[in-house]
Chain A
Amino acid sequence: MSTVFYYAAIFTVSSMLVSMLSLSRSSSVRQSIPFFVSLAALLLSLTLTLFKMLNYLSAPSPIYTNLFHEDFLAYFFALTVLLVSLFVVLSSRNYMWGERNLAVYFSLLLFSTLGMVLLSFAADLLMIVVAWELMSIPTYVLAGLRKSDPFSNEASVKYFLLGAFSSGILLYAISLTYGLTGTTNLNAVLQNLQQLPNPLDPIAILMLALYIAGFGLKMSVVPFHMWIPDAYEGAPTTISAFLSAGTKKAGFVVAIRVFVVALPFLSVNWTTAFAILALATMTLGNIAALTQRSVSRMLAYSSIAQAGYLLIGFAVASGPAKTLGLIGVLFHVFNHAVMQSAAFLAVAAVDRAIGKVGLDSFASLWRRMPITALSLAVALLALAGIPPLNGFWSKLVLFTAAIQGDMAWLAVAAVLNSALSLGYYAWVIKRMYIDEPTGLGAQSKIREPTLISAVLLIATAITIVVGIYPSLIYDLAKAAVLAYQ
């Protein structure tokens, strides 16, 4: 039986179970069991993914069906998003402790995770839409879970309005594809598009623009990024981590499937568009981050900037650097998922332990919450691309791809952006390690949330280990890309 079926079974059963538990009268059942069930589901599916990956590496055996492609690319992304979900679920145990509707929270997380996993495998436009919505709709609710908090609501409403709009645009794009090719299967789309009499058909161009906009929302591509800072700031911080490290990555896997696989014949067009968008995204994200005075907003803009680096991989996807660019995208997707979730979850720990995430909370944090401060510092340095941390390597691959793809100007812009970004990352680190604490009681040590600390340590370990020995992930990414061609 196909692997996708197992994933679907694991997640559907567990999230059904969890949501039924919300009806229980016992508060301990409502508080604890959903967490353990979610944890079990994630661990099970992670084991399954790792097992499949090992199998695949020893004997590549992609399975292509009409709806799903079970190849190494899919497993790679599944691994990434499952890891993020695991981090988020573990941290939620601390972060959301005592909140109401915990069972709902966990069941929605599981549904959304299933959506992401399905997206990693989806190879049919209709399946993509279904998975896309399965991933998105729960997150609209999750962003607004604190329903008595107006900011959480605002985040949710903004996110929902734009999300719904982008789904509409995506459907429109798919309908155009169907109109042009008469099919929704990606491989068939590819074949039929090749027989198009005029490759610069206006409808095809419109279709491309709509795809970019539709996926661009989740990928946080400028100018479709407007919702991000508000949503990340207003949503519960664990959900910000989930959105930034998880669902955004799913946006990238679909974009790879659709653009690189189904639409390469129009490549001259869309690669340039992606190059311009990459430039705009990284520059705007970094410059806006520079002026932020709130750590979560700063992280939101930094996450936008990181999407800009990722877009380089798409910008070179039609040239000689296609393979390297895609490897770079995959590598950076993995690294970014780890770094960004560590950064957001560290903020969540501060939020939970100190109660607010204003600037003062971070002053001299290393005395008060040493593990959190260290992990945040490492995550930020990794995001800034300082060697020997994982972020350096994936940026290096992406920038090299830009140069090989005859887009040296993009590489130059990216390197300068990367240098600029250190300005605001270092500022937070200085705040944590150098500035004296302000305010009363700001000297005292705080008990750090256990599970979040554990997650942070794991993420930090991955960041450093991959940084020192990058071929652990690089080789996986390479295998995924090579298997795909």
Chain B
Amino acid sequence: MNEALPWLVWLLPIIGALLTPIFAKIGDKVRDYLAVLFSLASAVSAALLLLSNEVIHSTVEWIPSIGLQAGVLADQLSIIMANIVAWISFLIMVYSLGYMKGEPNLTRYWFFMNFFIGNMQLIVLSDNLLQLFFGWEGVGLCSYALIGFWHTDEKKYWVGTPVEEGGRRAWGREQAYSPSHAGMKAFITTRVGDSAFLIGLLILYTHSKTFSFTQLAEHTEWASSLASAGLLIPVTILIFGGAIGKSAQFPLQEWLPDAMAGPTAVSALIHAATMVKAGVFLVARIGPIFYTAAQAVNAAPLFFEAVAWVGAFTAFLAATQAVVGREIKKVLAYSTVSQIGYMMLALGAAGLVAEETAFASGFTAGFFHLMSHAVFKASLFMAAGALIHACGSKYLSDMGGLRKVMPITFFSMLLASASLAGVPPLSGFWSKDAVLASVLEAHTPYAPILFALSVATAMLTVFYTFRMLGLVFFGEKGKLGLEHKHGLHEEAEHHLGEAPKVMWLPYTILAVASLVIGLAGPFVETSLHNSLEHYLHEYGFEAAHKGFELNLAAVGGSLAALAVGLPLSYSIYIARRLDAAKIVNSSKLLRAIYIFLENRWYLNTLYYAIFVDGLLSFARIIWRGLEVSVIDRLGDATASASIIFSKAGNWFDRYIVDGFINGLAYINVRFSRLARILQTGVSQNYLLVFAVGVIVVLIILVLNPSLLLR
């Protein structure tokens, strides 16, 4: 029975997804509730795994002739992750019942939600990299489909501020995107990372002959084989590229803020709690393997250095952007990118420690932060969805004074935000603290810089979190009264008031969970540390059981961040003693910084200029230059011939076969039109290309450039 559990965890949601269209035939209610039920069943299986508390590794033959097996590996790491994913998913599915009520095309919604959960669990529970890659692509596909769920692309579903609503252009480019554009952007950007991942995977496979995690960890000869080919570092970085794309880390971070065009439940599930953590999970899965392998060949831990730097920089980059965010979901999205940066930083720092026994600390820190972030961020997103529903606006400036109107939402958002800001004793405080401590333990000359970056990020986090809280719940009652004059949101369904129970219950549960985890913080961290240490032991790490200890420098840093950020944010946005707009407008420098931040450091625009415009114009040049010019001439050449042929055919038909007259008039019109377009040409051109091709091949053969290319 236990053998089947890990399979059930990921197969149940997929089966549920496939059955959705059938349930939809029975009735809408049946479809909705059964979809939620399947995710619950998956969550229960995951919980049973946790209770049984044993490592399950079950495999089946996949391609026997090359020894490829499909399998699930439920060990400490994946069991914890699977439970985080499963239970948060279930709560978000419940929330969706309320949030998506009355939307059309819900069959598609439930299909992709369940399909997503299944694929995510496939990533978590896979025992090999290839199968993980399957889930990896699957979640990407679901993310694409769900971001573009509101496919009608009405302006109210756009992400960013369209120019006609007072949005800014950056380099003449509008910074607002339709849901389908955002979906495509997410898909293509993550595909860049996926391509790197796939190439890395294939190179790794050619040297290791296996995709299996346990095999890779047991037989580390592949490391020396890769190292001797000079490929060890490139391969690890390439695989990390996949994680960068999925987890929206620099330089592939730009898709996530725009992915907020999707329904909020989707943002909560995919773009906060689960899918974007897949990258972190991947690093957690392969990090220990790379660490031991690199040790075996005495390679410098460049991989971990890259992970740490990417994480620290992204954390800072995204936090600065969150400070000026105008839309509540976008602030949360920047914050997600930033917090994932922390997790990467911790995992990277883990690999930079002086002695092997300390690896587990950073590893635990990264994973602990993943867990606590998943909980409070999912809660924040769902609450944000409730706010958007209630106010009919995604802009922070349209909200305000909602403290009294939506007390439950306020309460749970306060808890979750405080956790995000790292206020003791909430879960975010402990986990962020662990991250900072792990940076201090890193044995690298850059450790102080990394630490400074992460403390600065912590400060920014405190600032933007309370800014968001202040703008939404404090001050005057925003523009809500004006809303109806605007004519923007005429739907009568937007009434001010608390969200329905089916919506507030899930996010309140998570907010309280964040508090509970926080109250038991040291205990949770220690037990997580112990079970992950157990896990690492399987990968050849020496265990050093240690009790819980606070790193005072880290606590100091995080409290300092709180001390700077909170009063500032409080006086501007909660007490409203200072006016942010006035401060920014008072100095040119501040104004320039503001615009720089709002335009996302111009990275987004730069990418568009280079990759979108660049590629498209390249494609057009190729198309015009190579294909059209030749094809047109070919067309000229053959036009005459084909007209003759078809005329001959017609003549034959008309006078000899059966004298069909019908339609000839029509056909003649077509001919004359065609003849006008394609004038007579020389048919030699047609074959000229072919002949040139032969000569080109001949030249290649004679020059024999194989030595250059190999």
Contacts and interface: CB of A to CB of B under 8 A. Distances in A.
Interface of A: 144, 147-150, 153-154, 156-158, 161-162, 165-166, 169, 205-206, 208-210, 212-213, 216-217, 223-224, 226, 229-230, 268-273, 275-277, 284, 287-288, 290-291, 381, 386-388, 396, 399-400, 403-404, 406-409, 411-412, 415-416, 418-419, 422-423, 426, 430, 433-436, 469-471, 474-475, 478
Nearest to B706: A272
A213 B694 contact: yes
Interface in B166-193: 180, 184, 187-188, 191-192
13 contacts: A147-B646, A147-B650, A150-B670, A154-B635, A158-B642, A161-B683, A226-B630, A276-B700, A284-B622, A381-B141, A399-B202, A422-B188, A471-B65
B704 A275 contact: no
B137 A272 contact: no
Most buried by A among B194, B205, B709: B709
B626 interface: yes
A407 B689 contact: no
A416 B392 CA distance: 42
Nearest to A272: B706
A23 to B, nearest CB: 13
B642 A209 contact: no
B58 interface: no
Interface in B671-710: 671, 674, 683, 686-687, 689-690, 692-694, 696-698, 700-702, 704-706, 709-710
A434 B180 CA distance: 8
Task: Say what secondary structure dominates the interface of chain B.
Answer: helix
Interface residues of B, number: 76
A205 B702 contact: yes
A299 to B, nearest CB: 16
A150 B64 contact: no
B206 A404 contact: yes
A144 B683 CA distance: 19
Interface stretch (B144-152, B395-403, B431-439, B533-541): B144-152
Contact of B638 (A158, A268, A276, A403): A158
Contact of B698 (A148, A209, A423): A209
Contacts of B670: 150
A223 B704 contact: no
Contacts of A423: 188
B634 A158 contact: yes
Contacts of B405: none
Given A150-B670, A213-B697, A288-B623, A475 B704 contact: no
Given A150-B646, A157-B645, A408-B203, A272 B619 contact: no
Contact of A415 (B199, B671, B710): B199
B203 A156 contact: no
Given A158-B638, A288-B627, A224 B693 contact: yes
Nearest to B108: A433
B641 A400 contact: no
A157 B642 CA distance: 6
A452 to B, nearest CB: 21
Given A269-B704, A291-B620, A386-B137, A209 B694 contact: yes
B687 A430 contact: no
Given A273-B701, A436-B152, 14 more contacts: A158-B686, A205-B701, A209-B698, A223-B696, A226-B630, A229-B627, A287-B618, A381-B141, A403-B202, A408-B203, A409-B709, A436-B151, A469-B62, A474-B66
B137 A287 contact: no
Contact of A209 (B645, B649, B697): B697
Contact of B144 (A269, A275, A406, A426): A426
B653 interface: yes
Contact of A208 (B63, B152, B199, B701): B701
Contacts of A158: 634, 638, 642, 686
Contacts of A388: 134
B180 to A, nearest CB: 6
B631 interface: yes
Contact of A273 (B202, B627, B630, B697): B697
Nearest to B64: A471
Contact of B709 (A149, A275, A426): A275
B239 to A, nearest CB: 13
A150 B199 contact: no
Contacts of A212: 697
B250 interface: no
A422 B191 contact: yes
Most buried by B among A153, A230, A412, A419: A153
A418 B626 CA distance: 21
A216 to B, nearest CB: 8
A162 B192 contact: no
A71 to B, nearest CB: 19
B645 to A, nearest CB: 5
A396 B63 CA distance: 13
Contacts, number: 191
B227 interface: no
Contacts of B519: none
B532 to A, nearest CB: 29
A205 B653 CA distance: 48
Nearest to B134: A387
Given A161-B686, A205-B701, A150 B194 contact: no
Given A273-B700, A419-B194, A290 B619 contact: yes
B64 A277 contact: no
Which 10 residue pairs spanning A and B have beta carbons closest together? A147-B649, A223-B693, A272-B706, A434-B151, A154-B642, A209-B698, A153-B642, A153-B646, A471-B63, A387-B134
A415 B192 CA distance: 10
Nearest to B203: A403
Given A154-B642, A416-B195, A419-B194, A226 B634 contact: yes
A409 B620 CA distance: 25
Contacts of B192: 419
A272 B704 contact: yes
Given A400-B206, A426-B144, A434-B180, A150 B693 contact: no
Contacts of B696: 223
B639 interface: yes
B701 A269 contact: yes
Nearest to B699: A209
Contacts of B641: 157, 161
B643 interface: yes
Contacts of B620: 291
B667 interface: yes
A419 B195 contact: yes
A433 B649 CA distance: 41
A153 B134 contact: no
A102 B152 CA distance: 44
A403 B643 contact: no
Contacts of B663: 148
B34 interface: no
Contacts of A404: 206
Nearest to A423: B188
A229 B634 CA distance: 12
A277 B649 contact: no
Given A269-B701, A273-B701, A430-B180, A169 B619 contact: no
Nearest to A469: B62
A161 B359 CA distance: 69
B138 interface: yes
Nearest to A211: B697
A409 to B, nearest CB: 7
Contacts of A208: 701
B362 to A, nearest CB: 32
B133 interface: yes
A400 B203 CA distance: 8
B198 interface: yes
B626 A284 contact: yes
A129 B528 CA distance: 71
Contacts of A162: 686-687, 690
A146 to B, nearest CB: 9
A387 B704 CA distance: 37
